[in-house]
């Protein structure tokens, strides 16, 4: 009996069509140098904390301010004396915005360009502004705009992503380097690799000494000194937590764990709480990606060639008290890469590394409400 050649070749064709890409992918996977590590999953919880008050549609009723006049306003510094809101942008500019409470009249001024990527901003004790610049390191900008490099390495390791900063009342500057391995445009790889290249550091302006306070951190991000000056809170983005560094005894402990998203900047609100920006919500997909290094390797290879896969959603900001207890959570399904928030009078201002504007919501009018 003669078999129809088409009938034999079809299954053959099918298996080749599957087999070739499969072999190709396996070889590519083996050859790619991106080397991932298991994350300490026992320190991570699957189920996030839920704030008692929620607003899951924070874009509803929100305005966009400074539209087209800035890209990626990352952190905010509000100077109550001048009424100016400072923010660092993607193109290296530190811009300042005259914030009014009305809709469209914010004046934006290009203040100083660091030539890098300003992230954290804080006012120093003598009118200067201290900047955590992802590219340049820790900078001081005088009132008249003169930039000085304070430090860009510690213990022989150059900072790659100087990220969050705050200044204590005694003048000591606390700041983070998110990674000494990857630079800012590769931050996704740092997070996917799963090794702790971040550090919490201090800089003493009178001795010019840079000190490593806590090492082996997972993408060390936002920093805030507590109002009583006893501790420093700092966030570890992929671990969905912020830790507390006790200044006197130098002991590090938990501040808040199991956040509903990935924390970025943290800022004290002057009224007994901290605002923490959340770049994305934590999802089941993230749970699997974090659990299985293999998935992180695949995501890392995609990131290298095509950019970070679209695994972020529902960014926003969460308000916690001085004990780290969640109070309010603002987010919106379409928001991503939200980096931080501050509240001025009725308005919550939110920044990001991607949007060409600042998001502003009247939270008196659109508050977070009981989720129960």
Ligand X SMILES: *[C@@H]1O[C@H](CO)[C@@H](O)[C@H](O)[C@H]1NC(C)=O
Site residues for ligand X per CB under 6 A: 101, 346, 362, 364-365
Euclidean distance between CA atoms 326 and 257, whole angstroms: 10
The distance of closest approach from Cβ of residue 221 to ligand X in the complex, given in angstroms and rounded to an integer, is 30
Question: Could you identify the residue written with the tokens 């992503």?
Answer: 161
Nearest to 160 by CA among 199, 121, 204, 115: 199
* E strand map for 178-325: 198-204, 209-217, 220-225, 231-236, 241-246, 252-256, 261-268, 273-281, 316-321
| Backbone dihedral angles phi then psi of residue 5, each to the nearest 5 degrees | -60, -30
The distance of closest approach from Cβ of residue 66 to ligand X in the complex, given in angstroms and rounded to an integer, is 17
The distance of closest approach from Cβ of residue 363 to ligand X in the complex, given in angstroms and rounded to an integer, is 8
Euclidean distance between CA atoms 183 and 39, whole angstroms: 21
| Backbone dihedral angles phi then psi of residue 256, each to the nearest 5 degrees | -145, 135
- Counting runs of H as helices and runs of E as strands, what totals does the chain give? 4, 28
Euclidean distance between CA atoms 328 and 330, whole angstroms: 7
The distance of closest approach from Cβ of residue 260 to ligand X in the complex, given in angstroms and rounded to an integer, is 26
Q: Both tokens of residue 94?
A: 């530190």
Task: Select 65 or 213, whichever has its Cβ closest to ligand X.
Answer: 65
| Backbone dihedral angles phi then psi of residue 51, each to the nearest 5 degrees | -65, 145
The distance of closest approach from Cβ of residue 67 to ligand X in the complex, given in angstroms and rounded to an integer, is 18
The distance of closest approach from Cβ of residue 104 to ligand X in the complex, given in angstroms and rounded to an integer, is 12
Task: Select 183 or 362, whichever has its Cβ closest to ligand X.
Answer: 362
Task: Select 110 or 346, whichever has its Cβ closest to ligand X.
Answer: 346
Displacement of CA 343 from its chain's centroid (Å): 18
**In what helix (H) or strand (E) does residue 351 lie, and over which residues does it extend?**
strand 347-352
The distance of closest approach from Cβ of residue 183 to ligand X in the complex, given in angstroms and rounded to an integer, is 40
Task: Select 100 or 153, whichever has its Cβ closest to ligand X.
Answer: 100
Task: Select 35 or 346, whichever has its Cβ closest to ligand X.
Answer: 346
Euclidean distance between CA atoms 369 and 372, whole angstroms: 9
Task: Select 258 or 362, whichever has its Cβ closest to ligand X.
Answer: 362
Task: Select 282 or 366, whichever has its Cβ closest to ligand X.
Answer: 366
Nearest to 360 by CA among 320, 319, 329, 330: 330
Task: Select 153 or 364, whichever has its Cβ closest to ligand X.
Answer: 364
Angle, CA 351 vertex, CA 301 and CA 289 arms, to 5°: 30
The distance of closest approach from Cβ of residue 271 to ligand X in the complex, given in angstroms and rounded to an integer, is 17
């Amino acid at each position: 009996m003669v078999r129809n050649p088409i009938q034999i070749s079809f299954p053959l064709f099918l298996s080749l069509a599957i087999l070739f890409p499969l072999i190709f992918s396996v070889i590519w996977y083996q050859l790619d140098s991106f080397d991932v590590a298991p994350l300490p999953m026992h320190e991570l919880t699957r189920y996030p904390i839920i704030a008692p008050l929620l607003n899951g549609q924070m874009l509803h009723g929100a305005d966009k301010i400074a539209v087209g006049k800035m890209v990626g306003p990352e952190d905010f510094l509000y100077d109550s004396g001048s009424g100016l809101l400072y923010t660092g942008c993607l193109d290296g500019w530190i811009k300042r915005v005259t914030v009014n409470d009305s809709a469209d009249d914010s004046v934006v001024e290009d203040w100083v360009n660091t030539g890098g990527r300003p992230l954290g901003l804080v006012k120093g004790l003598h009118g200067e502004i201290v900047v955590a610049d992802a590219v340049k390191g820790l900078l001081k900008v005088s009132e008249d705009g003169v930039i000085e490099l304070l430090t860009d390495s510690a213990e022989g390791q150059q900072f790659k992503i100087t990220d969050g900063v705050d200044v204590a009342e005694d003048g000591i500057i606390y700041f983070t380097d998110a990674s000494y391995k990857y630079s800012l445009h590769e931050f996704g790889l740092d997070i996917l690799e799963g090794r702790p290249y971040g550090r919490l550091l201090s800089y003493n302006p009178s001795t010019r000494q840079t000190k490593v306070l806590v090492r082996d951190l997972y993408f060390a991000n936002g920093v805030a000194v507590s109002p009583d000056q006893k501790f420093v809170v700092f966030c570890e983005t992929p671990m969905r937590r912020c830790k507390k560094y006790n200044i006197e005894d130098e002991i590090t402990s938990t501040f808040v764990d199991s956040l509903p998203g990935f924390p970025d900047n943290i800022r004290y609100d002057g009224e007994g709480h901290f605002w923490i920006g959340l770049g994305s919500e934590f999802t089941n997909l993230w749970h699997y990606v974090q659990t299985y290094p293999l998935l992180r390797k695949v995501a890392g290879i995609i990131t290298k060639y095509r950019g970070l896969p679209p695994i972020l959603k529902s960014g926003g900001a969460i308000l916690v008290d001085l004990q780290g207890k969640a109070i309010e959570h603002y987010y919106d399904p379409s928001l991503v890469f939200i980096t931080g928030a501050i509240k001025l009078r009725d308005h919550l201002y939110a920044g990001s590394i991607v949007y060409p504007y600042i998001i502003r919501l009247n939270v008196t009018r659109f508050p977070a409400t009981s989720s129960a």
